[in-house]
Amino acid sequence: MYGMVNKAIQDLVTIKFGEDKWVAVKRKAGVEIDSFISNDSYPDSLTYGLIGAATEVLGLSSDEILFAFGEFWVLHTAKLGYGDLLSSAGRNLGEFLDYLPSFHVRVALIFPNLKPPRFENSDRLPEQITMHYFSHRPGLSMMVLGLFSGLAKMYDTPATTTQTKFKDKGDDHDEFVVRWGNAMKV
């Protein structure tokens, strides 16, 4: 994965739990890198190692960590470097989710080694959309839920996300239905 992901984990742990905890997470994961470079590629095992160590050091489940990471990614990391683009990716939550598949295709062009996930959307209703998440990396659906939650917060739009397909339960991909506004009452 690109360094920006590891950097985001570092920032999440440091900002929310303190520098000491980050040092402990790094030590636990056997990572000796002081500063991650956003546009450098690092082994996936390093990222998984950091998340695993964080669960032990912080006493949180991996689901909690991944969800927190998803939210943090949108609200902090992406904003930090790509805020101007992120805030222009849609005038509202619905428009952003409409555009998300194209956004990821463009990201893949910029980061040739990224192997980014692929998003598709379907069943668009005025305040509801179905998002399909395809990734070769296992166990990250909680992070996607965190991402949607972060986006809802970014647009100040209360929303609910329900996972309707599970790759780790045999489905060919993960599927989420995002509802906001009146659709949430359904």
Partner 1 sequence: MTSTSTIIDHEQFRKLFPFMFVLDQSMKVLEIGSALARIVVEMVPGSMLTDHFKLYRVGQNGLDAEFLQRQTASLIVFQAIKSNLFLRMQVLLVKNPDRYVFVGSPWLRAAAELKDIGIVLPDFALHDSTVDTLQLQQNTNVSLREAKELNITLERRVADRTSELSLANAELSRVMQSKDDFLSAMSHELRTPLNAILGLSESLCEGVYGGLTDKQSKSINTIAESGHHLLSLINDLLDIAKIGAGKMDLDWTNSNLEDLCKSSMRFISGLASKKKISISLFTDPIASTIHADQRRLKQILVNLLSNAVKFTEAGGHISLQTRSNPERNAIEISVTDNGIGISNSDIERLFRPFTQLDSKLSRQYAGTGLGLSLVLQLAELHGGSVEVKSELGKGSCFTVSLPWSESKSHFPQPAPGYKNLDISTDRVAAKGPLILLVDDNEINLSTVGDYLRAQDFCVILARNGLEAIQVVRERKPQLVLMDIQLPVMDGIDAISILRADPTLKSLPILALTSRAMVGDRERCIEAGANDYLTKPVQLKQLTHVILSHLNHLKIK
Measured N-to-C along each axis, helices 3-17 and 44-58 cross at an angle, to the nearest 10 degrees, of 10
**What is the distance, to the nearest Å, from the Cα of residue 43 to the centroid of all Cα atoms in its chain?**
18
- The distance of closest approach from Cβ of residue 33 to partner 1 in the complex, given in angstroms and rounded to an integer, is 12
How many Å apart are CA 81 and CA 77, to the nearest integer? 7
To partner 1, the closest distance from the beta carbon of 109 in angstroms equals 6
CB of 75 to partner 1, least distance (A): 17
Beta strands in the chain (DSSP E): 118-125, 128-134, 159-165, 174-180
Instruction: Choose between 75 and 89: whose C-beta lies nearer to partner 1.
Output: 89
Residues making contact with partner 1 (CB under 8 A): 4, 35, 37-39, 81-82, 84-85, 87-91, 95, 98-99, 102-103, 106-107, 109-110
Minimal distance, residue 79 CB to partner 1, in Å: 12
Q: Which is nearer to partner 1, 34 or 172 (CB)?
A: 34
**H-helix segments, the chain:** 3-17, 19-29, 44-58, 62-72, 78-86, 93-110, 141-154
Task: CB nearer to partner 1: give 60 or 75.
Answer: 75
